[in-house]
Amino acid sequence: MTRVPVALSCSVCGERNYKTTRVQRRSDKPLELKKFCKKCNRHTIHRESK
């Protein structure tokens, strides 16, 4: 298994708030997590970005 670093960015304001790693898989859908965004001051959907 290969773990690749990804950044999680807020889907509302685009701020990159979190860094994590994920297991690389072919034809995997992007990660979507509910995380707290300091800029929006609320929980928003965060998506992985490279």
Q: Cβ of residue 27: shortest distance to Zn ion, in angstroms?
A: 28
Q: Cβ of residue 43: shortest distance to Zn ion, in angstroms?
A: 10
| Per rule CB under 5 A, count of chain residues that contact Zn ion | 7
Among 4, 12, 31, 33, binds Zn ion (CB under 5 A): 12
Contact between residue 37 and residue 46 where contact means Cβ atoms under 8 Å apart:
yes
Q: 30: burial class by Cβ within 10 Å (0-12, 13-18, 19+)?
A: exposed
Report the SS3 class of residue 38.
coil
For binding to Zn ion (CB under 5 A), which residues are involved?
Answer: 10, 12-13, 15, 37, 39-40
